[in-house]
Amino acid sequence: MGKSEGGRRIVATNRKARHEYHILDTWEAGLVLRGPEVKSLRDGKVSFQDAFARIEDGEVWLYSLHISPYPQANRENPDPTRSRKLLLRSSEIRKLIGSVEEKGNTLIPLDIYFRRGYAKITLALAKGKNLHDKREKLKKRTQDMEAQRAMQRYS
């Protein structure tokens, strides 16, 4: 939380996304939020668990993203898991419609950040990994770590 990369202040990252999905393409989208939600985001009170996006009536909506209520805005806090509209160009939405209709593809959020004071989200077109894909990745990572240790011992 709070890392800056190229003018972006990253608030939260969906760490499970790259483990459970093959990322095919990514887009940057604006996020329509209410005042207390922005303050809560700045504090890093966000959870990606089970979050996904869907295209409905030519608009992209984000579901199940949990933004905790901001304690100082007691009456004005909206529902923490309400659906939120994502702001994309119409040409990007047309590309997304064609891509999502392919079997097995879905839209998932990768990270949330602030750029020039605006809340942005990185949206990814992804395809779910099978269990054996995850196991192979873990096995390869373990082998690479063991090889690295062996090289350090002999150098």
Domains within the chain, CATH numbers bracketed: 3-130 (2.40.280.10)
The pLDDT assigned to 5 comes to 63
State yes or no: pLDDT of 2 exceeds 70: no
- The SS3 call for residue 15 is coil
Residue 17 is predicted with a pLDDT of: 86
**Neighbouring C-beta atoms of residue 142, cutoff 10 Å:** 10
Distance CA 80, CA 149 (A): 45
Mean pLDDT of 12-39: 89
Confidence class for position 80, pLDDT limits 50, 70, 90? confident
More confident residue, 134 or 33: 33
Quote the CA–CA distance of 95 and 103 in Å, as a whole number: 15
DSSP string, 39-73: HHHHTT-EE-TT-EEEEETTEEEEES-EEPPPTT-
Residue type, 50: D
Q: What is the pTM for the complete model shown?
A: 0.76
Nearest CA-CA partner of 1 in 41, 52, 51: 41
Q: What is the pLDDT of residues 34-65, one digit of tens each?
A: 888 888 888 888 998 889 999 999 899 999 99
CA dihedral for 74, 31, 11, 99, sign (positive or negative): positive
pLDDT value at residue 30: 94
pLDDT given at position 101: 81
- Extract the tokens encoding 42: 């700045």
The answer, yes or no, to whether residue 85 has pLDDT greater than 70, is yes
